[in-house]
Amino acid sequence: MTELREPIQVAAEILGVDVCAAYSRIRYAYYRMMKSHHPDRNRGDPRADRRAALINEAKDLLLGRIATPTLVKDAELVSEVMQQPVSEAEVMSYEGWLRSRFYNMEQCSIWPC
């Protein structure tokens, strides 16, 4: 028997974060997933657009930007995305990602230029 889950729980599983994760963790998880599932990296794959749309919807659902998800309810698409793990070699670490986005190393400032 299939377990019924709330869409927000499914969205958190897609991105690999907790349902109540911080904004920066959700953004980093989105970055990680899009790094390998983006349509530009998967040219010739007709389902790449739907996978990217699912990842966008999961991010927006967790950030509270949408209330009625559609793609998150597509069990086949969700399992397709979940079965393709993100390679750690092609994605920078969370700390590195934070530094690149929020820390100006040359001026030792937390504010971006």
Residue-level pLDDT at 104: 56
* Whole-prediction pTM: 0.78
Kindly list the averaged pLDDT for each block of 10 residues, start to end, along the chain of length 113: 74 93 92 90 90 94 91 90 79 77 60 55
- Residue 13: closest CA among 58, 56, 49: 58
Residue-level pLDDT at 10: 93
| C-alpha torsion 89→13→15→52, nearest 10 | 100
- 70, 61 in Cβ contact below 8 A? no
| Structural domains of the chain, with CATH | 7-102 (1.10.287)
Burial label for 47, CB within 10 Å (0-12, 13-18, 19+), is: middle
Q: How far is CA 108 from the centre of its chain?
A: 29
Residue-level pLDDT at 8: 93
